[in-house]
Amino acid sequence: MENMSFLFAAYTIIWVVVFGYVFYIYRKQRKLQKEIDLLKKTVDKLEIS
């Protein structure tokens, strides 16, 4: 039964790390999208003025 906990730990860690990395990419993507929006607004303001 103790071996079962090793198996559970291994697969849990794998999924936590994989999803953690996917979440990191997702957050970075959102941050970049915000920066793009900000840049677009700045360009629009410059064009108007």
Partner 1 sequence: MNSKGVLRDNVLLGLGLVLMIAALYLIFVYVPTEREMGVVQRIFYFHVPLAWVSLLAFLLVFICSILYLWKRAMKWDILAHASAEVGVVFITLVLITGTIWAKSIWGVWWTWDARLTATLVLWLTYLAYLLVRNYATDRAQGARFAAVLGIIGFIDVPFVALAVNLWRTQHPPALIFEGGITSPMLLAMLVSMAAFTVLYILMVIQSASMKNLETEIKSLKDT
By CB under 8 A, name the binding residues for partner 1.
2-4, 6-7, 9-11, 13-14, 17-18, 21-22, 25, 28-29, 32, 35-36, 39
- The residues, any chain, with a CB within 8 Å of residue 7's CB and separated by 6 or more, are none
CB of 4 to partner 1, least distance (A): 6
CB of 25 to partner 1, least distance (A): 5
Give the whole-angstrom CA distance, residue 12 versus residue 35. 34
CB of 21 to partner 1, least distance (A): 5
